[in-house]
Amino acid sequence: MTATRLADDGPLRRLVDGSYVDHLCTLTLVVVVINSNEDPPLFLAALAALVVGVLRPGWTRTPWWWFATAAVLAVRQISDWQGIDNHVVVTTYWTLALALGLAADDPARVLARSARWIVGLVFGFAVYWKLASPDFLDGDFFRFTLLTDDRFDAVARWIGGVPNEAMVLNEASWLAVLRGDEGALLVGGPRLDALALFMAWFAIVTESFIAVAHLAPLRGRWVVLRPASLLFFCLGTYIVVPVGGFGCLLAVLALADDELTPTWRRAYLWLFAGLVVYGPIWWLLFG
Amino acid sequence: MVGRRSQPSERRRLHRMRPRPESPGRAPVPTAPWSRKDRILAVLVPALLATIACVQIARVHTLDQSPWSGAGFGMFATIDGETTRSIHGVVVSGDETTEAALPENLRRSAFELAVVPTESATDELAERWAEELDLPDDAHLVVSVRSVDIDQDLRLTTDVIVEGTS
């Protein structure tokens, strides 16, 4: 039996042997593809860029590649800003940060700091919005979302105890409101209130922790709080809601930490790979 | 000859003294001071992100813009958003009112109105919608943007954010 070996000077060998900044560039190419999936022309362009990036890794290690990528993404997103999800915008920020980082005297250090502050600010603003929304704090947001958003359907039924037939009725009631009815009554389950409150406060506590850990100038052993809190959030959130695009982006931002230990680096690479395959499997099983 | 096993404390000391192998793919810990150029480059994108996110917060508070939209981070933080807001048109003719279906070619404009429901944009959509319906002179169209709320009994209620007429 002969083991499969990578060609000594092939594109995959160059990819695997690259530095961690090289890996960041390659993983970001994948993230751009995943987060462009709702815009077919952009998706195809991102796919082509990924193929080029694998075959000619050197091209994607230049600031100009990422300036061009950020410019294309930004133009598309500004022209359709009303319907763009926030993680897609953060993907554009990160491509711009890559461009600037690769133009720096010390790319690894600049990328690490940019990524850390991006994560801290994203979660900081997310916490601001949650604390500023009374319907989030009292659990109303998740009560509503669990009963009307099909991405939460399995959680509402399995954990919230909402009967299947109630979910069908809820969908019809919600559609009627969207079509013009002035009100409707949704049907819950025995554990819906507790679940909604738990989800709300889980989000507030973990997101606050991540924001503080990434914005504070931690030193020594305390820096482990950054990868640990982000990994905890990703596992807790993306198992329930398969929004793999955001999860993969967060994994790349975590991997940009130039002081990350090999163990954490492996954990985030596994997370990245897991999220890429988990989304389609989730929809197949529960969607 | 079998060597003597070292005591646990000694093993720990030897382990600490052993040089750590350089991990492949791990950059050396930086020790040089930051250059001015690098400090600026590192902060540019986070500053851009924070500026746009603050503008988004201001727009939500001043224009009723959807918290979910506009490069901010209000997704999954509140029920109110462009996907839960709905646009309704009612033709008013004398004492009679009739629900009007949104024409297909105005769907994009209606979505944009749900994101930023200003009075002027509502009036503009009402005008264009009325033109599509080819209303008689004594009729006009009232367009409303509604948000939804839920109470403790899981009752959904709607509230008019803004209303415009043709």
Question: pLDDT of A173-190, one tens digit each?
Answer: 999 999 888 889 999 999
Token pair recorded at residue A220: 């020594």
Task: Determine the pLDDT at residue A3.
Answer: 43
Contacts of A136 in chain B (CB under 8 A): 77-78
Q: List, as one string, the DSSP characters of A122-161.
A: HHHHHHHHHHT-HHHHTSHHHHHHHHH-GGGHHHHHHTS-
Tell me: pLDDT of A13 over 80. no
User: What pLDDT score does B18 carry?
Assistant: 38
Judge contact between B153 and A185, C-beta under 8 A: yes
- How is chain A split among helix, strand and coil, in percent rounded to 5? 80, 0, 20
Question: A49-87, pLDDT tens digit by residue?
Answer: 999 998 988 899 999 999 999 999 999 999 989 888 889
In chain A, residues with a C-beta closer than 8 Å to the C-beta of B102 are none
**CB proximity B149 to A under 8 Å:** yes
**Test the A interface: residue of B45, B61, B63, B153 with most A CBs within 10 Å:** B45
């920020």: which residue's tokens?
A93
Block residue for tokens 């998706």 = A43
Q: What number of residues does chain B have?
A: 166
* Host H or E run for residue B98: strand B96-100
The pLDDT of residue A28 is 96
The torsion of the CA quartet B4, B9, B12, B14, rounded to 10 degrees, works out to: -50
Size of interface A-B (CB pairs under 8 A): 175
Query: Above 80 in pLDDT, residue A8?
Result: no
User: A86, B79: Cβ pair inside 8 Å?
Assistant: no
At B29, the pLDDT band (50, 70, 90 cuts) reads low
Asked if A247 has any chain B CB less than 8 Å from its own CB, the reply is: no
Instruction: Locate the chain B residue with the closest alpha carbon to A104.
Output: B38
Query: Residue A192: CA atoms inside 13 Å, Cβ hemisphere, count?
Result: 27
Query: At B87, which helix (H) or strand (E)?
Result: strand B86-93
What is the pairing mode between strands A183-185 and B155-165?
antiparallel
Q: Answer with the residue of higher pLDDT: B81 or B5.
A: B81
CA distance A68 to chain B (A): 16
The Cα A44–Cα B160 span in angstroms is 41
| Minimum Cα–Cα distance from A123: chain B residue | B73
Q: How far is A161 from chain B (nearest CA, A)?
A: 15
Q: Does A118 touch chain B (CB under 8 A)?
A: yes
Measured CA to CA, the distance from residue A164 to residue A149 in angstroms comes to: 14
Mean pLDDT of all residues in chain A?
Answer: 89
Q: Which chain A positions have a beta carbon within 8 Å of B67's beta carbon?
A: 129, 133
A121 touches chain B (CB under 8 A): yes
Region for residue A161 given its phi and psi (left: phi exceeds 0; alpha: psi -120 to 50; beta: otherwise): left
- DSSP secondary-structure letter at A39? S
Is A244's Cβ below 8 Å from some Cβ in B?
no
Looking at every residue in chain B, the average pLDDT score rounds to 84
Measure Cα distances from A6 to A10, A13, A17, A266 in Å: 7, 6, 11, 21
Task: Give the number of other Cβ atoms within 10 Å of residue B150's Cβ.
Answer: 20
Chain A closest-CA separation from residue B6 CA (Å): 28
* Contact across the interface for B99 and A180, Cβ inside 8 Å: yes
Mean pLDDT across B123-145: 92
